[in-house]
Each structure stands twice: as C-alpha cells, then as structure tokens.
Chain A
Amino acid sequence: MNFELGSFRDPAGKVFYEEKKVFRYVTTQGQKKYEYIKSNGILNDSIKDGYLIETREIKDEKIKSQISNCKYILQHQLIDFISYPYEWSFNQLKDAALHHLNYQIYLLEKNAILIDGSAYNIQFIGTKPIFIDVLSIGEYRDGMYWYGHKQFCENFLNPLLLSSKKEIYFNNWFKGNLEGIFTSDLNSILNFIDKLSPTIFLQVFMLNKLENKTILDPNKSSKKLKKLRNFSKKSYMSLLYQMKKTIKKLEPYKRKSVWENYSKQNTYTKEEEILKIKTVKDFVLKNNFNLIADVGCNDGLYSFASLESGCKKVVGFDFDLNVVDRAYLEAKNKNHSFLPLYLDASNPSSNIGWNETERKGLKQRFNFDGLIALAIEHHLAISKNIPLDQTIDWLTSFAPKGLIEFVPKEDETVQSMIILKGDIFPNYTEENFIKFLGNKTKIISSTKVSSSGRKLFEYARI
C-alpha cells in the first residue's frame, strides 16, 4: 500500500495506491460528510453528470484492517497522467476554473458545497476537466459563506487575470508559489485603468485592502467577522454566477511567440512532412500504445497522427505556451484524447511543496509506454548546451519504446543556432548519437526524413 504523499491536509481521508489502482479511505472525521453526499444521491449524480471522477465504494476488510480510523474505502478511476495547474495553458486553467464554478453551482442547488478552491483538485482526462477530491464536497448550511473564495482567487482568478491583463504567463510564478498568485502581488502589478473594471476593483483591489486590514488589526477584523450577518444562499449563488461570467470573458493577452507558426512555417518540405507523419504512424500502428508522450509536440500534428493510428491517449509537452493553448483548443474542438502541457525541458517540474513531496516532479509521474520526440533533441543539445548523451538519456527515460529525431549540424536550424556561440559541439555527430542511443537501447530502425539529413531513430529499451 503506497500512500499519496500530497494527500495529507484533509483529516477526512487520504489517497493511496495498490496494484496500479487508486483508492481513498474515509476517516471518522470524513464519515458524516461522505454519508451526506452518498445518501442524498449527490455522489452518484455528480459522477453521472460528468463533474466528478468515477468513484465506487469497495468492501475490503484486509485493507481496512491495515488503516486505523478507516470507515470507508473508495476506489477512483485511475488518471493516466497527473498534471498541475502550472503546466496548463491559459484556456486549460480557464476551463478548469469554469468546471469548478459549474460544479459549485450544481452542488449548491443540491444543498452541498465545495469546501475549498484548489486548482489541484481538478485533473484533465484528455481535454475534459474533472473534479477528483470527493472529500472536498460538504453539506451546505444556511448562512454559509464561500469559504474557498480566497483560494479560488489565488488558484484560478488571479493567474488568469495576470495573463489576460499583462504580457506575463502565470505558469512559472504559479510553480514558484504553489498556491497560485497572491492578491497583494497581483494588486501591485495592475494599474489604475485595470482597477476601473468592477471585477478587478472588488476581487483584487478591495480584497487586498481588506486582507491588509486583517493583518494590520486582526482583533478588529475578528470582531467584525463575529458580527457578520448570515450570507444568503441567493447571494452565494449570485457570487458564483458573477465569477463565472467574469472568467468566461477573460482571454489571454495577445502576444506573438517563436513557435506559433512552426507547423506551417518550418524548414522541411511538404513531402518530407508526409514522410515524417508516415514514419510516426507506422511506429504507433505496430506497437498498440496506450499512452504516448509527445515531447516538443508543438500544435499536436504528430500527436493527432498517433491517435489516428490507434494510440489511445497522448500527453504532449512544449515550451511555447501559445502553441500549447492552440493545441488544447484544437484537441477540445476535435474531441481528441490529447493533453498538451507546458514543459521547459531544461527546467522540468520538480518535487515541490511540503517535505518536497507534495507535488511530484515530471519524472515521478512518467507512465508512458511510447515516446515521440521530433525536432527537440537539437534544442537541448545545441541551444541549452546539454551534453548529447544526457539529452538522449533524458528522452529515453520517458518510455521503453520511442522515436527520436536527430537533426544534423548541417541542418539550417542548427546552423542558425550556432551563429553567435560558434560550433562548440565537436561531439554533436550522428555517429555519437547512434553510439549514445545504442548504449542503453536497441536501435530498431532509422529513417531519413529530410534532404539535410534529419533521421528518425526508433529504439526499444534493453
């Protein structure tokens, strides 16, 4: 039995894994609220209506006897790849925020609420957001305020406002802070004109003022808190609808990025691209993959080709948030099981949070059976000066079988990369690429896909 190290905050229960299955146990503290959502049909309705991850109660006395204070054991649908909000593009975070709000509205109608506003409680299955934390659902009692509001603002609203109003991606900031973007930080960045918007005035400027007041004079705020009148259900609902309306209208700040038009304006010809797609399709067809990692996925051209060739799911990774966003919208539009995510390959997500185990690094989450890494290796080896052997080791660590494109030094793109820094890469040769790849894997085949000498190497780990 492996306990999920990030599941420790809620005394109502904990997540654990056994034999590639995911479970959650409910303690005596969580018993009452679990029984409430179960007996009122909220649990089953939420699953049926697509808000909540598939969950079923299981009777396993053996497991139960191993956990103290365990009242129920639930089994959840296993998510192939856990992603975090700092790996999502603007529209992914926006859809996750809207899913959270829609679910809150749905629950409130059934006299239930979400007790927090954490973005980590939402995961993506393909392009579909889903709520995963059953024990975050609680009973609504008359007069209740939206207790998860502050967390919702920091996890969802503030990052979206930041990337909507300013030319700043929220991702690296979010990753550094873990709980999103503080209202005080956002307030410092937004200007007077931004604050004329009623939403920003209330949810950022005023909230920051009130938060500052509580810090300056906690006693006065505490007295004020005790005197507050009950919050009506109508007001709660209207606050949720207002937030939903605001988030729906938010669009990412328009900015140009380097790789935005890459799939349309690249250095190879149409014939070469067709050959590349065919090589990818042949590789996928013969392997019957469940989950492929497409590293350097750009707008998902080869991910879509993989899905067409029988792969069940693809998780894409790219450094350019504009193309990740576009790929996500396209996959959503086509209803493809493709989840593109943000990844700076030279600085991947690491273990962070409490005890450095709360949120897992990228490698800890690898669960792929196939890899496609096209036109990415030279960005690491040449642009980022990562030794070729380390680049290959890192790429092959994604999956036991894969397809990696080698871009030779003679290629136009590599030539432009070394204009300023010069050719300081004597080891960057096809011979060395084959040697390093062959050290840890068996090279199955190589296919030349461009006149400049680009080749796709298929490997299988030994």
Chain B
Amino acid sequence: MMRVFYLTFCLLFFNIHNAHAYLDPGTGSIILQALIGFIAAIGATVGLYWQKFKFLIKKIFTKNKKQN
C-alpha cells in the first residue's frame, strides 16, 4: 500500500526527465507541430471569416451612406 502511495506521490510531484522510453524520442515534437498546424489552420479560418465579416459591415455602411 505504501509502495502504491509512494509511486503516486512521485508521479504527481516530480518532473519526469528524459528516459529511454520505447517510443521515438521525436514523438512530442511531431505532436507539437500538428498542434501548431491545427492552431494556424483555425487562425486562418477565423481570419478569413473576420475579413468577410468586415467586408459585409463595410458594405452595409457604404450602402446606408449612399442612401442618405
């Protein structure tokens, strides 16, 4: 029981350092790149809609001005 408690404590409170895990050490870096790519794609999409939204607002106001 004490052993389980000790292991849980270690896992929770100590930093994990680079160990020789059975996984390509570059895995974290690839996942990070995928994440950055995903964020950039969201940014680009939001940016595109934001441009469209700005264009629409501009169009409405120019129309109103012309009517006045």
Contacts and interface: CB of A to CB of B under 8 A. Distances in A.
B56 to A, nearest CB: 27
Contacts of A182: 17-18
A185 to B, nearest CB: 8
A176 to B, nearest CB: 15
Interface string B24-35: 111111111111
Contact of A207 (B22, B23, B29): B29
Interface residues of B, number: 25
B32 to A, nearest CB: 5
B37 interface: yes
Contacts of A225: 24, 27, 30-31
Contacts, number: 92
A235 B28 contact: no
Contacts of B34: 145, 228-229, 231
A207 B37 contact: no
Given A150-B28, A153-B29, A239-B33, A184 B17 contact: yes
A210 interface: yes
A221 B31 contact: yes
A150 B31 contact: no
A221 B23 contact: yes
Q: Chain B contact residues: over half helix, strand or loop, or mixed?
A: helix
A232 B25 contact: no
Contacts of B25: 150, 211
B60 interface: no
B68 interface: no
Contacts of B15: 184, 188, 212
Nearest to A206: B32
A338 to B, nearest CB: 36
A326 interface: no
Contacts of A224: 31
A212 B16 contact: yes
Contact of A231 (B17, B18, B19, B33): B33
B37 A150 contact: no
Interface in A183-232: 184, 188, 202-203, 206-208, 210-216, 218, 221-222, 224-225, 228-229, 231-232
Interface in B17-65: 17-19, 21-37, 40-41
B30 A145 contact: yes
A215 B37 contact: no
B37 A202 contact: no
Given A228-B34, A231-B34, A235-B40, A221 B16 contact: no
Nearest to A153: B29
Interface in A231-264: 231-232, 235, 238-239
Interface string A137-167: 0000000011101110100000000000000
A87 to B, nearest CB: 25
B16 A150 contact: no
Contacts of A212: 15-16, 28
A307 to B, nearest CB: 42
A149 B29 contact: yes
B25 to A, nearest CB: 7
B28 to A, nearest CB: 4
Contact of A210 (B17, B24, B28, B41): B28
Contacts of A214: 21, 23, 27-28, 31
Contacts of A232: 37
Contacts of A184: 15-18
A207 B30 contact: no
A146 B35 CA distance: 13
Given A149-B26, A184-B17, A238 B40 contact: yes
A184 B17 CA distance: 7
B32 A210 contact: yes
Nearest to B11: A216
Contact of B31 (A147, A203, A218, A228): A228
18 contacts: A145-B30, A146-B33, A149-B33, A150-B26, A150-B28, A182-B18, A184-B17, A207-B28, A210-B27, A210-B35, A214-B23, A216-B11, A218-B23, A225-B27, A228-B34, A231-B34, A232-B37, A239-B36
Given A184-B15, A210-B27, A231-B33, 8 more contacts: A147-B26, A147-B30, A188-B15, A210-B32, A211-B27, A214-B31, A216-B11, A238-B40
Interface of A: 145-147, 149-151, 153, 182, 184, 188, 202-203, 206-208, 210-216, 218, 221-222, 224-225, 228-229, 231-232, 235, 238-239
5 smallest CB-CB distances across A and B, nearest first, come from: A211-B28, A210-B28, A150-B29, A218-B23, A235-B37
